[in-house]
């Protein structure tokens, strides 16, 4: 309730910031507090995702981030952190590496060309799809089920 009240106060003082962004941030902070204070292991995942969503939205609303791709990029970083924290906790979250990697590549491709010093990465996206597809095909063929014909 306190975080929601603070979000409403900020929205009243700075109307350019949407209430949705502030509520996402408040929920992320709440889950983060549950993870840090109450040591709820599973609370880090929603905390990271909600804070990433809120940060991308707030960056756009404040004028620091322009154009598409930032949400995917922030979520990619969040899923990378989910994997890293899982490793520290002794929990396997290998799925988050794949999700984070895909989102980070999509975000990088979308923001490329608009960020100083970052080249246009349009071809990278297609190359990543081809390489990942090839690796999956080779793995499926190498570890395929033994069929008796």
Residues 6+ apart with CB under 8 A from 24: 50, 51, 53, 54, 57
14 pLDDT tier (thresholds 50, 70, 90): confident
Torsion angle of alpha carbons 57, 59, 60, 66, nearest 10°?
Answer: -130
Nearest to 78 by CA among 36, 28, 34, 121: 28
Nearest to 64 by CA among 74, 55, 51: 55
Average pLDDT over residues 139-146: 73
Regarding predicted confidence, which is higher, 85 or 144?
A: 85
Quick: pLDDT tens for 91-132: 888 889 888 988 888 888 778 766 666 666 667 767 777 887
Instruction: Report the C-alpha gap between 142 and 149 in whole angstroms.
Output: 18
């Amino acid at each position: 309730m306190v975080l929601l009240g603070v979000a409403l106060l900020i929205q009243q003082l700075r109307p350019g910031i949407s209430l949705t962004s502030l509520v996402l941030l408040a929920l992320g902070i709440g889950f983060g507090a549950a993870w840090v204070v109450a040591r709820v292991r599973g609370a880090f995942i929603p905390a990271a995702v909600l804070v990433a969503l809120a940060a991308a939205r707030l960056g756009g609303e404040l004028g620091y981030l322009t154009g598409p791709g930032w949400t995917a990029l922030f979520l990619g970083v969040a899923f990378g952190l989910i994997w890293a924290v899982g490793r520290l906790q002794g929990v396997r979250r290998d799925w988050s590496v794949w999700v984070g990697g895909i989102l980070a590549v999509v975000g990088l491709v979308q923001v490329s060309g608009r960020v100083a010093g970052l080249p246009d990465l349009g071809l990278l996206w297609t190359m990543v799809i081809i390489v990942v597809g090839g690796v999956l095909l080779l793995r499926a063929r190498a570890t395929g089920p033994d069929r008796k014909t």
